[in-house]
Amino acid sequence: MKQRRRAFAWQPESDTLIALATLLAFSLCYYAGTSINSLFLWLGILVFGTAIPLWTVLCQRRETLAGVGITRKFLLTSLAVSLVLGAGSAYQLFALSNAMGADFASHLVANFLVLWEPFFVFGWLYLRWERAFGWLPAIVLTGLGFMIQHLGSVQLEAAAGFGVFAIMFAIAFALVRNLAVLWPLFYPVASGIGTLQAGFVMGWGDAGISAIVLVLQLAIFWWINKKAKSLPAA
């Protein structure tokens, strides 16, 4: 039966608590990855940002990939909106790159390869918050969570700015609940702008690392999805 979307709700379940736990754990990995060793960040991405969310949705809850925002529903609309928003922001990224002396191509490619962030923040966290609390609190909680994720890694003002960006992304995502509205056409450009504003300039080495993480993440997608399909009917 199709579930009616509500602005406000109170229906927290076990996956709500799991989502909160992954947010806190990933935030610690993010901080450790930027202050101690980047391996902590990659571990957080693959374990707390990918494997646990997918296992929870596909294997425990027995949902489809639509439960993490990967769906054909509103696909063309999502891609069209993403293209328009991405193209509209591209000049700002180009101008900012020139002003900071950053290589536009490598910085954009490095951000383009980042699937994990929109997947974790919107496909996983937002959809858990929406089911538990309604779409309006979910938008606010997504922004708050994104700010928490960056605390300690950037200045408080920058983290708050990231939270505001996340709220705008969440509004766009809430309309279609399809990750295609963010990735791969809009989010990489917006993320490129945000990272430059926070002082993070990404070169081809960063792009290479992002590519490796993306491949590992896709391998986790494939394995857990295959595992879920092999489970006996509930």
Question: Could you tell me the pLDDT band of residue 198, with boundaries at 50, 70 and 90?
Answer: confident
| Model confidence pLDDT, tens digit, residues 14-71 | 999 999 999 999 999 999 998 999 999 999 999 999 999 999 999 999 999 999 999 9
Instruction: Please give the radius of gyration of the chain, using alpha carbons only, rounded to the nearest integer.
Output: 17
Judge whether residue 1 has pLDDT over 60: no
Please name the residue that has the structure tokens 């709500």. 16
Handedness of CA 49, 141, 158, 114 (dihedral sign): positive
Q: Output phi, psi for 151, to 5 deg.
A: -60, 135
DSSP 25: H
pLDDT in tens, 174-189: 999 999 999 999 999 9
Cα dist from 71 to 67, 103, 176, 203, 220, whole Å: 8, 34, 10, 32, 18
Of 129, 164, 90, 93, give the one whose Cα is nearest residue 8: 129
Can you state the angle between helices 104-112 and 187-197, rounded to 10 degrees?
A: 120
Locate 83 and state its tokens.
């293209």
pLDDT value of position 233: 76
